[in-house]
Amino acid sequence: MKQTRRGLLLVVSGPAGVGKGTINLSLISRNSDIRMSVSATTRSPRPGEIDGVHYFFKTDAEFQKMIESGAFLEYMRVFNTHYYGTPKSFVEQELAEGRSVILEIDVQGAMRVKAAYPDAVLIFIAPPSMSELKSRLIHRGTESTEAIERRFETAFQEMELVDRYDYVVVNDILDLAIARTEDIIVAERCRVSRNGELIEKLKGGRSAL
Ligand code: 5GP
Measured by CA distance, the residue closest to atom 6 of ligand 1 is: 78
Please tell me the distance from the alpha carbon of residue 102 to that of residue 95, in angstroms, as a whole number. 11
Measured by CA distance, the residue closest to atom 20 of ligand 1 is: 85
pLDDT at 4: 65
Measured by CA distance, the residue closest to atom 24 of ligand 1 is: 105
The atom number, within ligand 1, closest to the CA of 110 reads: 22
How far away, in angstroms, is 96 Cα from ligand 1 center?
Answer: 24
Cα-trace Rg, the chain: 19
What value does the mean pLDDT take over residues 168-172?
A: 97
How far away, in angstroms, is 16 Cα from ligand 1 center?
Answer: 10
Give the global pTM.
0.91
pLDDT at 34: 97
pLDDT at 209: 74
What value does the mean pLDDT take over residues 4-20?
A: 92
What value does the mean pLDDT take over residues 16-24?
A: 94
CA angle 54, 56, 57 (to 5 degrees): 105
Q: List the CATH code of the domain at 9-37+99-208.
A: 3.40.50.300
Name the band, by pLDDT with cuts 50, 70 and 90, for residue 1. low
DSSP secondary structure string, the chain? --S-SSPPEEEEE--TTSSHHHHHHHHHHH-TTEEEPPPEESSPPPTT--BTTTBEE--HHHHHHHHHTT-EEEEEEETTTEEEEEEHHHHHHHHHTT-EEEE---HHHHHHHHHH-TT-EEEEEE-S-HHHHHHHHHHH--S-HHHHHHHHHHHHHHHTTGGGSSEEEE-SSHHHHHHHHHHHHHHHHT-GGG-HHHHHHHHGGGGG-
pLDDT tens per residue, range 99-117? 999 999 999 999 999 999 9
pLDDT at 5: 80
pLDDT at 2: 64
> At residue 174, does pLDDT exceed 80?
yes
Name the band, by pLDDT with cuts 50, 70 and 90, for residue 81. confident
| C-beta 106 within 6 A of ligand 1 | yes
What value does the mean pLDDT take over residues 17-45?
A: 96
14-28, 56-70, 148-162, 175-189: range with lowest mean pLDDT: 148-162
Name the band, by pLDDT with cuts 50, 70 and 90, for residue 208. confident
How far away, in angstroms, is 199 Cα from ligand 1 center?
Answer: 38
Domain locations in the chain?
Answer: 9-37+99-208
| C-beta 71 within 6 A of ligand 1 | no
> At residue 170, does pLDDT exceed 70?
yes
| C-beta 86 within 6 A of ligand 1 | yes
| C-beta 39 within 6 A of ligand 1 | yes
Please tell me the distance from the alpha carbon of residue 164 to that of residue 196, in angstroms, as a whole number. 26
Measured by CA distance, the residue closest to atom 14 of ligand 1 is: 105
Chain mean pLDDT for the chain: 93
| C-beta 158 within 6 A of ligand 1 | no
| C-beta 78 within 6 A of ligand 1 | yes
